[in-house]
Amino acid sequence: MQDGTPWPGNNTRDHPGMIQVFLGYSGARDIDGNELPRLVYVSREKRPGYQHHKKAGAENALVRVSALLTNAPFILNLDCDHYVNNSKAVREAMCFLMDPEVGQDVCYVQFPQRFDGIDRSDRYANRNTVFFDVNMKGLDGIQGPVYVGTGCVFNRQALYGYGPPSMRSLSKSSSSSCSCCGCCSCCCPGKKAPKDPSELYRDAKREELDAAIFNLREIDNYDDYERSMLISQRSFEKTFGLSSVFIESTIMENGGVAESANPSTLIKKAIHVISCGYEEKTEWGKEIGWIYGSVTEDILTGFKMHCRGWRSIYCMPLRPAFKGSAPINLSDRLHQVLRWALGSVEIFLSRHCPLWYGFGGGRLKWLQRMAYINTIVYPFTSLPLIAYCTLPAICLLTGKFIIPTLSNLASVLFLGLFLSIIVTAVLELRWSGVSIEDLWRNEQFWVIGGVSAHLFAVFQGFLKMLAGIDTNFTVTAKAAEDAEFGELYIVKWTTLLIPPTTLLIINMVGVVAGFSDALNKGYEAWGPLFGKVFFSFWVILHLYPFLKGLMGRQNRTPTIVVLWSVLLASVFSLVWVRINPFINTVDSTIVAQTCTSIDC
């Protein structure tokens, strides 16, 4: 530092809270005379033994500091690897957040994620075009898109756990709508005005604190108003923490620094709200701010807001609002998908699971709830997907078909289902403008991620949530490239590569075995063979980007991946031959086919 002392933040796991104001209240201006926005560096305190909650904890610390220094009513959230690509993006968000009709109920405006540095073919579906241009646009017609962790402008009041103003006014008006008499229940039997969750929470806290300081009523001449103010203050402290200036800022819906704030002491108070112990015994991370409990805190945070009755907006300007960098090589991309899937499994096993959370207020629409359920159950599709990718190879290796001959009715039903899926996909493509190539890339990587990252996420999630075992899958780079898209060809060792490689080997061996068997049996065996080979080729075709990425630029695959995959494929084949479920051993001299398969 300038005085010669070492920088106090050299130890990233043990350092005090630090705030440095580069552009503050002095009113700095640019070369054109326009006032520059304030620029403040914040590093929250970290000490051994304290849980810092990673990104979610950092976001909550920034919310508190900004409330003390500026307290703007809206907050722009960007990841560290994103930048502003459209100078009018924030203004686009303000058009929704400040709209006099719908703006008061909007908790955030979400922009789609766009990325730089992705290869032209988008081999690993890094752009996520189907999700951002189809799914998110569809959610915008229900209660709004989910929060994806970046490229989002928040209403500060929504982060504080308050419900939307329209819900509060609706609750008050409905409570006074029955004008027959104050105690009459015959005209409106069983109808009670639903309270805002934040009001219910504050009422419960008020009763708890009232019981704790009941002795104040016994004091002579103690003013009821002063007692109620004390109760309210303590209730807010249990919710927001021990900072009177910050608490005062939370009730200023239009923003602005509190009148009681002293600029000379604001920095000291701001450092206090980013200390390690500030969030203890408060509702930070539980009911307010970014919610803790999952590595995908973004889904939880948006879900809680929607449960309170807020709605969100999806904004897609012609020029991308923000851009970022995406993991370009196979291993990093799989680990990104693993993290997302693990977060979904954590939410599924937590109290915030959309299957049972948020029914009390009745403010989360049913279709929105189904959308959230879809975001947490998709990793479990890896289990049937593994079976579907394995069965074609089994058919070729054993010479049997697993499904029986379909009846005419079953064939018609299957054809109708298949055609409905195709028609739905075509309509979605025409509506969203997504290309067939993007849809195909998305399908390919859905299979690749499903048989690798999603499968690992299911087991890792259960180990972490039920047994308390946190298993980490680490990657180690083998090499680096300076050429364009050079990182695309880097092959990094990770256990996530083993299951897809095993499936590729099994299906390739199955195809070879099927053709060999057909050559031995003659012309009649070729017809049934093509049906079996088609399914195996379909699996290989979906896994082709994985195979291409696995080979790297030198067309070499990590030896350890090949050894593990061959070992698993061999063990699986030997076990299958040993148990052979198609053989009925009632009579050792008679080989009978089971009723669930036909001999092709």
State the binding site: 54-55, 79
What does the DSSP assignment read for 21-90? EEE-TT--B-TTSPBPPPEEEEE--B-TT----HHHHHHHHHHHHHHHHT--SEEEE--TTEEE--TTHH
Q: Which of 252, 297, 249, 251 is nearest to 273 (CA)?
A: 249
Between CA 175 and CA 178, with CA 176 as vertex, the angle to 5 degrees is: 100
Q: Which of 340, 333, 320 is nearest to 114 (CA)?
A: 320
Burial of residue 15, with CB atoms counted within 10 A of its CB: 0-12 exposed, 13-18 middle, 19 or more buried: middle
For the annotated binding site for Mn(2+), the residues are 55, 79
Q: Which residue has the tokens 């305190």?
A: 45
Give the span between the Cα atoms of 84 and 332, in whole angstroms.
24
Instruction: Name the token pair of 489.
Output: 């060809």
Give the span between the Cα atoms of 557 and 491, in whole angstroms.
8
For the annotated binding site for UDP-alpha-D-glucose, the residues are 54
Give the span between the Cα atoms of 338 and 336, in whole angstroms.
5
Pairing of the two strands 39-43 and 18-23 = antiparallel
Note whether 64 and 246 are within 8 A (CB): yes
What does the DSSP assignment read for 357-426? TTTTT--S-HHHHHHHHHHHHGGGGHHHHHHHHHHHHHHHHHTEESS-PPPHHHHHHHHHHHHHHHHHHH
Q: Where are the alpha helices (DSSP H) in 119-222?
A: 129-130, 136-139, 156-159, 165-175, 197-212
